[in-house]
Amino acid sequence: MSHHSSDERLVQFIREHHPSPPSPKENIEDTLIAQIETEAQPTNVTPFPRRRYQGWVFGSAIAASVLLLFTSVRFLQPSSLSPQETAELEAFLIENWEAVTMADPAETSWFIPEQPKSSNRR
């Protein structure tokens, strides 16, 4: 006797002989509907469940943050100079450098405080 067939016979037996529940009260359906109408008020049913709403909010927030980060990185990056700008910059640097290294000392004489001419008075 296989275990499977034994199971089948058991299931068949309990299906045939399982006790049926007693009949419900006649008015149970109406009582239930009345209870629903008086106590349960699922009128706050939203076609947009809260959980989904939260997901939408978080998703949008994350997307906005990523977009902001991307654009800020783009704008903060130093843009490359055009050949003309490079040439101008180079010329400025050379001119500036020459002005510093080859400057006339007289031009900076104003920087040295003047000595009082006391000896001439004597």
Site residues, another protein (CB under 8 A): 6-7, 9-11, 13-22, 24-25, 28-29, 31-33, 35-37, 39-40, 42-46, 49
Q: Give the nearer residue to another protein in terms of CB position, either 17 or 122.
A: 17
DSSP state, 112?
A: S
Query: Which residues, at least 6 apart from 89, have a Cβ–Cβ distance to it below 8 Å?
Result: 81
Q: Give the nearer residue to another protein in terms of CB position, either 45 or 73.
A: 45
Q: Give the nearer residue to another protein in terms of CB position, either 43 or 120.
A: 43
Instruction: Give the C-alpha distances (Å, rounded to integers) separating 117 from 6, 113, 120.
Output: 132, 12, 6
Is the separation of the CB atoms in 46 and 54 below 8 Å? no
Query: Shortest approach of another protein to residue 38 CB, angstroms?
Result: 11
Integer-rounded Cα radius of gyration of the chain: 47
Query: Shortest approach of another protein to residue 25 CB, angstroms?
Result: 5
Q: Give the nearer residue to another protein in terms of CB position, either 32 or 66.
A: 32
Helices (runs of H) and strands (runs of E) counted in the chain: 5, 0
Query: Shortest approach of another protein to residue 30 CB, angstroms?
Result: 9
Query: Shortest approach of another protein to residue 34 CB, angstroms?
Result: 10
